[in-house]
Amino acid sequence: MGSFLFNVFALLTLIAAVGVVVSRNAVNAAMCLLLSLVGVAGLFVGLHAYLLAFLLLLVYAGAIVALFLFIVMLLDTKGDARPTLHKLPLAARGLAIGLVGLGMISFAARGQLASPDAATIPAVGANLKLYAYQLFTTYLLPVQILGFLLLIAMLGVIVLSKRFEGMEDIK
Protein backbone atom coordinates (compact mmCIF):
# COMPACT_ATOMS: atom_id res chain seq x y z
CA MET A 1 0.00 0.00 0.00
CA GLY A 2 2.91 2.36 0.73
CA SER A 3 4.27 2.05 -2.79
CA PHE A 4 0.82 2.76 -4.25
CA LEU A 5 0.39 5.93 -2.15
CA PHE A 6 3.90 7.08 -3.04
CA ASN A 7 3.11 6.67 -6.73
CA VAL A 8 -0.21 8.53 -6.35
CA PHE A 9 1.34 11.48 -4.52
CA ALA A 10 4.36 11.57 -6.84
CA LEU A 11 2.09 11.59 -9.90
CA LEU A 12 -0.11 14.30 -8.34
CA THR A 13 2.96 16.42 -7.59
CA LEU A 14 4.40 15.94 -11.06
CA ILE A 15 1.17 16.72 -12.93
CA ALA A 16 0.45 19.77 -10.77
CA ALA A 17 4.03 21.05 -11.20
CA VAL A 18 3.70 20.75 -14.97
CA GLY A 19 0.39 22.62 -14.65
CA VAL A 20 2.18 25.47 -12.86
CA VAL A 21 4.67 25.80 -15.66
CA VAL A 22 2.36 25.53 -18.67
CA SER A 23 -0.67 27.41 -17.35
CA ARG A 24 -1.22 30.79 -18.99
CA ASN A 25 -3.64 31.96 -16.29
CA ALA A 26 -1.90 33.03 -13.08
CA VAL A 27 -4.78 31.94 -10.85
CA ASN A 28 -4.78 28.46 -12.38
CA ALA A 29 -1.01 28.30 -11.96
CA ALA A 30 -1.37 29.21 -8.27
CA MET A 31 -4.00 26.51 -7.79
CA CYS A 32 -1.72 23.98 -9.49
CA LEU A 33 1.06 25.12 -7.14
CA LEU A 34 -1.28 24.46 -4.22
CA LEU A 35 -1.99 20.95 -5.51
CA SER A 36 1.71 20.35 -5.99
CA LEU A 37 2.39 21.37 -2.39
CA VAL A 38 -0.35 19.04 -1.18
CA GLY A 39 1.32 16.22 -3.09
CA VAL A 40 4.69 16.99 -1.51
CA ALA A 41 3.03 17.07 1.91
CA GLY A 42 1.58 13.64 1.17
CA LEU A 43 5.07 12.40 0.35
CA PHE A 44 6.30 13.80 3.69
CA VAL A 45 3.50 11.94 5.48
CA GLY A 46 4.63 8.78 3.71
CA LEU A 47 8.08 9.38 5.20
CA HIS A 48 6.53 9.81 8.67
CA ALA A 49 7.64 13.45 8.73
CA TYR A 50 4.32 14.77 9.97
CA LEU A 51 5.70 18.06 11.27
CA LEU A 52 7.28 18.89 7.91
CA ALA A 53 4.03 18.05 6.11
CA PHE A 54 2.05 20.25 8.49
CA LEU A 55 4.49 23.14 8.22
CA LEU A 56 4.54 22.85 4.43
CA LEU A 57 0.77 23.07 4.28
CA LEU A 58 0.57 25.79 6.89
CA VAL A 59 3.33 28.08 5.65
CA TYR A 60 3.47 27.53 1.91
CA ALA A 61 -0.03 26.38 1.00
CA GLY A 62 -1.76 28.47 3.63
CA ALA A 63 0.20 31.68 3.55
CA ILE A 64 2.41 32.02 0.49
CA VAL A 65 -0.09 30.72 -2.08
CA ALA A 66 -2.89 32.77 -0.48
CA LEU A 67 -0.68 35.87 -0.63
CA PHE A 68 0.20 35.11 -4.24
CA LEU A 69 -3.48 34.69 -5.15
CA PHE A 70 -4.35 37.91 -3.35
CA ILE A 71 -1.74 39.86 -5.30
CA VAL A 72 -2.65 38.27 -8.63
CA MET A 73 -6.32 39.04 -8.15
CA LEU A 74 -5.53 42.52 -6.87
CA LEU A 75 -3.39 43.42 -9.87
CA ASP A 76 -5.91 41.82 -12.24
CA THR A 77 -3.34 40.45 -14.65
CA LYS A 78 -4.55 38.97 -17.89
CA GLY A 79 -2.73 36.47 -20.03
CA ASP A 80 -1.44 38.30 -23.07
CA ALA A 81 -0.67 36.76 -26.41
CA ARG A 82 2.56 34.86 -26.41
CA PRO A 83 5.48 36.79 -27.83
CA THR A 84 7.18 35.57 -30.95
CA LEU A 85 10.10 33.30 -30.28
CA HIS A 86 13.50 34.37 -31.44
CA LYS A 87 16.46 32.13 -32.13
CA LEU A 88 18.17 32.55 -28.76
CA PRO A 89 15.21 31.44 -26.58
CA LEU A 90 14.62 28.51 -28.91
CA ALA A 91 18.27 27.50 -28.60
CA ALA A 92 18.09 27.84 -24.81
CA ARG A 93 14.98 25.68 -24.70
CA GLY A 94 16.61 23.08 -26.88
CA LEU A 95 19.72 23.07 -24.70
CA ALA A 96 17.65 22.74 -21.52
CA ILE A 97 15.57 19.89 -22.94
CA GLY A 98 18.74 18.18 -24.13
CA LEU A 99 20.41 18.47 -20.73
CA VAL A 100 17.35 17.11 -18.93
CA GLY A 101 17.17 14.24 -21.42
CA LEU A 102 20.88 13.51 -20.98
CA GLY A 103 20.43 13.49 -17.20
CA MET A 104 17.50 11.06 -17.45
CA ILE A 105 19.44 8.75 -19.76
CA SER A 106 22.45 8.89 -17.45
CA PHE A 107 20.29 8.10 -14.43
CA ALA A 108 18.59 5.21 -16.24
CA ALA A 109 21.94 3.78 -17.37
CA ARG A 110 23.41 3.79 -13.87
CA GLY A 111 20.37 2.28 -12.23
CA GLN A 112 18.98 3.16 -8.85
CA LEU A 113 20.97 4.81 -6.13
CA ALA A 114 22.24 2.55 -3.37
CA SER A 115 20.13 2.97 -0.24
CA PRO A 116 21.69 2.54 3.20
CA ASP A 117 20.35 0.04 5.69
CA ALA A 118 17.42 1.62 7.54
CA ALA A 119 18.35 -0.05 10.83
CA THR A 120 21.70 1.76 10.99
CA ILE A 121 20.25 5.24 10.46
CA PRO A 122 19.26 7.00 13.70
CA ALA A 123 15.78 8.52 13.85
CA VAL A 124 16.77 12.17 13.71
CA GLY A 125 13.87 14.59 14.04
CA ALA A 126 11.41 12.14 15.52
CA ASN A 127 11.30 14.15 18.72
CA LEU A 128 9.57 17.55 18.73
CA LYS A 129 11.59 18.69 21.75
CA LEU A 130 14.73 18.61 19.60
CA TYR A 131 13.01 20.76 16.95
CA ALA A 132 11.84 23.25 19.57
CA TYR A 133 15.26 23.40 21.25
CA GLN A 134 17.06 24.06 17.97
CA LEU A 135 14.40 26.53 16.86
CA PHE A 136 14.70 28.66 19.97
CA THR A 137 18.47 28.40 20.44
CA THR A 138 20.48 27.68 17.31
CA TYR A 139 18.09 29.05 14.68
CA LEU A 140 16.48 31.89 16.63
CA LEU A 141 18.01 34.71 14.56
CA PRO A 142 17.06 33.23 11.13
CA VAL A 143 13.51 32.62 12.35
CA GLN A 144 13.24 36.21 13.59
CA ILE A 145 14.64 37.56 10.30
CA LEU A 146 12.16 35.43 8.34
CA GLY A 147 9.30 36.70 10.48
CA PHE A 148 10.42 40.29 9.88
CA LEU A 149 10.58 39.69 6.10
CA LEU A 150 7.08 38.21 6.15
CA LEU A 151 5.88 41.29 8.07
CA ILE A 152 7.41 43.55 5.43
CA ALA A 153 5.71 41.51 2.68
CA MET A 154 2.38 41.79 4.48
CA LEU A 155 2.76 45.56 4.81
CA GLY A 156 3.66 45.78 1.13
CA VAL A 157 0.46 43.94 0.18
CA ILE A 158 -1.57 46.29 2.37
CA VAL A 159 -0.01 49.34 0.74
CA LEU A 160 -0.56 47.89 -2.75
CA SER A 161 -4.19 47.11 -2.03
CA LYS A 162 -5.00 50.58 -0.66
CA ARG A 163 -6.83 52.85 -3.07
CA PHE A 164 -5.43 56.37 -3.13
CA GLU A 165 -7.53 59.35 -4.16
CA GLY A 166 -6.77 60.63 -7.63
CA MET A 167 -5.38 57.28 -8.82
CA GLU A 168 -8.30 56.76 -11.23
CA ASP A 169 -6.89 59.46 -13.53
CA ILE A 170 -3.62 57.58 -14.04
CA LYS A 171 -5.25 54.64 -15.78
pLDDT digits (tens, 9 = 90+) for 60-103: 888 888 888 877 777 765 655 666 666 677 788 889 899 988 98
The lowest-confidence range among 10-14, 32-36, 133-137 is: 133-137
Percent of the chain whose pLDDT exceeds 70: 75
**16 confidence band (pLDDT: 50, 70, 90):** very high
Question: In this structure, are residues 153 and 68 in contact, taking their beta carbons and an 8 Å threshold?
Answer: no
Task: Provide the mean pLDDT of the chain.
Answer: 80
Separation of alpha carbons 102 and 21, rounded Å: 21
Instruction: Report pLDDT for 147.
Output: 84
Measure CA 59 to chain center. 11
pLDDT digits (tens, 9 = 90+) for 43-58: 998 888 888 888 888 8
Separation of alpha carbons 15 and 23, rounded Å: 12
Instruction: Report pLDDT for 138.
Output: 86
Separation of alpha carbons 14 and 36, rounded Å: 7
Instruction: Report pLDDT for 169.
Output: 53
State the pTM of this model.
Answer: 0.55
Instruction: Report pLDDT for 166.
Output: 60
